[in-house]
Amino acid sequence: MARILLLSNGHGEDLSGALLAQNLQQQGHSVQALPLAGLGSAYRKADVPLLGRSHEFSTGGIGYTSLQGRLTELLQGQVLYLLRRLIRLLRHRQRFDLILVVGDVIPVIAAWLSHRPVATYLVAYSSHYEGQLRLPWPCAALLKSKRFKAVYSRDQRTAEDLSHQLHRPVTFLGNPFMDSVLTGAAIATASGQRIGLLPGSRRPELEQNLQLLLQLMELLPTTPPCSVDLALVPSLDDVSLQRLSNRVGWRLTNGELHRDGSVSINVRRGAFNAVLQNSDLMIGMAGTAIEQAVGLAKPVLQVLGQGPQFTAAFAEAQRRLLGPTVFCASGESGSREALKASAELALALLDRFRRDPGFQQQCRVEAKRRLGEAGGGPRMAAAISALLP
């Protein structure tokens, strides 16, 4: 079978790439990955071999970050790191029958430079942002090249828009990153509504986000009963979590965060899918995880952070991408007024989701419109296999 190299440039892109790689491996192909930013942890977890060693950066890679984040990227040497990745690609390009891009313009350029056949999943771009997608230069010109054998989009609106712009078929087959959250074990909770917290996965931004979420939880009433689950990455261990929570008046006991007069928070590590599946409302400061929540027809409340990723600009763009079932209270990030408004909005959304069948139906409609049907990974893998001799 064919030898395929995956190029991706970010945490969310790595997740989609790893899921695609697994589907391609099941079809008998030999797959390696070259993450252009970050460690490529999703590939490691999926047992997809990497082409060379990788390195982690605090911003998670070159992408949609604040000015401070972009300066951090430069100081940490991410541009030089990217150039070394490109050199590695060019050295090994003849080993592969197909380059599979998962991401945006950066891996598109890298794949074009390889002079190998390319398939592209433009997971980072959507016409839902502006109505008509404006691809950054020189992305459109490269995608028109005969080297690019197929282009896949992240939603149907984008497929139609780009098919017209590029004068070639652009296909929407679903999003592989949704396949990974369709199954989740039930979480035992007391009666009442359930809130899931998504502080993100990138440290040290994760710690900053979590402190804000804890301050928000202080403002929720303890009656009627509400179960709160924190989806936490394993890299933030109990010692670090205890230290962080103590700074804002919380304590960690037997896997729960407590504060006098506040709701208790269940700490869930390695149970991300279960938290998504079992929550009535997601409160988050994340990228792909919030997209997955919308894809599961859950309403989402954003809480603005300080970045470098989850800034006000990022959150506003995310709302344009994901539509009217993603909400955000007004106010300056971290201010008492913004946190109080967020708490009030959370209670209103919980009540609306419980009482209003029309709102539940809207969540389901937007899930399909923005993220598509389940099974995107197998469908895309089959389409890519059909490209190969």
Q: Please tell me the distance from the alpha carbon of residue 258 to that of residue 27, in angstroms, as a whole number.
A: 48
Q: Is 352 exposed, middle or buried (0-12, 13-18, 19+ CB in 10 A)?
A: middle
Answer whether residue 55 shows pLDDT above 70. no
- Where in the sequence is the domain holding 28, given as residue range(s)? 3-180+374-387
Residue 185 lies in a domain: no
CB neighbours of residue 253 within 10 Å: 9
Answer whether residue 331 shows pLDDT above 50. yes
Answer whether residue 73 shows pLDDT above 80. no
Share of the chain above pLDDT 90, in %: 76
Instruction: Examine the domain organization and report whether 130 and 31 are in the same domain.
Output: yes
Q: Please tell me the distance from the alpha carbon of residue 244 to that of residue 15, in angstroms, as a whole number.
A: 28
Q: pLDDT tens-digit profile of 21-52? A: 999 999 999 999 999 987 888 999 999 999 97
Instruction: Examine the domain organization and report whether 253 and 111 are in the same domain.
Output: no
Is the separation of the CB atoms in 51 and 92 below 8 Å? yes
Residue 217 lies in a domain: yes
**What separation in angstroms does the CA of 88 have from each of 7, 85, 113, 120, 369?**
12, 5, 12, 20, 38
pLDDT grade, residue 186 (50/70/90)?
Answer: low
Instruction: Examine the domain organization and report whether 48 and 110 are in the same domain.
Output: yes
Residue 97 lies in a domain: yes
Instruction: Examine the domain organization and report whether 252 and 166 are in the same domain.
Output: no
Answer whether residue 257 shows pLDDT above 50. yes
Instruction: Examine the domain organization and report whether 367 and 379 are in the same domain.
Output: no
